[in-house]
Structure 1
Amino acid sequence: MKEITAKEVEQRLKGGHRLHIIDVRETEEVAAGAIPGALNIPLGLLEFRMNELSKDREYVIVCRSGGRSAKAVQLLERYGYKAANMTGGMLAWEGPVKQWEESR
């Protein structure tokens, strides 16, 4: 499984790279704050919403600590998507955070 650290994600965003970030936490968790620009698809809905994703993109998958995002990466890879798990999840994130209402 491909992994990326929270610091690497933050540095790439600061460097102007366009990352496709999917936050697989539940809506209530995301309401406390999310990485700006992240798309919220709770893990339990990911399999049903894969049609919204492109197999031509690589996704960075985020959760609270890295466990659910690892499961999401495995699921996506099984269906032919490219994804990387952000290790440590939002607990390791030191970059900017936007409230969910602002992220929509």
Structure 2
Amino acid sequence: MFGLFQKIPSISTKELEGLLTSNITLLDVRTPSEYRGGHIAKAKNVPLNKITTYSNASDKEVYVICQSGMRSKNAAKQLKKMGYQPINVRGGMSQWAGKIRGGK
């Protein structure tokens, strides 16, 4: 059963920064309080414990970020099972050097 070990593609935070000018879907899977503490403007907050409720028919490719990269990897596996093509952001917000915005 090699299906369990499907490789989730990943990119660096630097690569993500270069993609933000295009129309990408970025999911921040941290808790709402972490998200409010500072997030990437384009990111939509879908906490990991709610990831299975995410649905957006128009997006097949979704970028997933968390604080360090562990929760986003977990979320990416769930999203893959749901038919999305997730891309994990390695290092997460702890590696992010770009602009952040606080609040909702």
What TM-score comes out, normalization by structure 1 length? 0.87
The alignment partner of 2:57 has SS state of: coil
The alpha carbon displacement at 1:55 in A equals 6.2
**1:43 alignment partner in structure 2:** 48
- How big is each residue's C-alpha offset from its partner over 1:9-65, in whole Å with a ceiling of 9 and x where there is no partner? 10122xx21110000000011111000121101000111x22x32264311000000
Q: 2:22 aligns with which of 17, 21, 30?
A: 17
Q: Percent same amino acid at aligned positions?
A: 33
Q: Which runs of 5+ in 1 are unaligned?
A: none
Does residue 27 of structure 2 align to residue 6 of structure 1?
no
Instruction: Kindly provide the amino acid, as one letter, of the partner of residue 90 in structure 2.
Output: T
Which amino acid is the alignment partner of residue 34 of structure 2? E
TM-score (norm 2): 0.87
Asked if structure 2 preserves the Cα contact closer than 8 Å seen for 1:55 and 1:81, the reply is: no
Higher share in helix? 1
What RMSD over aligned residues (CA atoms) do the two structures have, in Å? Answer: 1.2
1:89 is the counterpart of 2:92: yes
Q: Is the 8 A contact 1:43 1:72 kept in 2?
A: yes
Amino acid at match of 1:58: E
The residue matched to 2:16 in structure 1 has which SS?
helix
Instruction: Specify which of 35, 39, 58 is matched with residue 30 of structure 1.
Output: 35
Runs of 4+ aligned structure 1 residues displaced above 4 Å come to none
1:65 is aligned, of 68, 78, 95, to 68
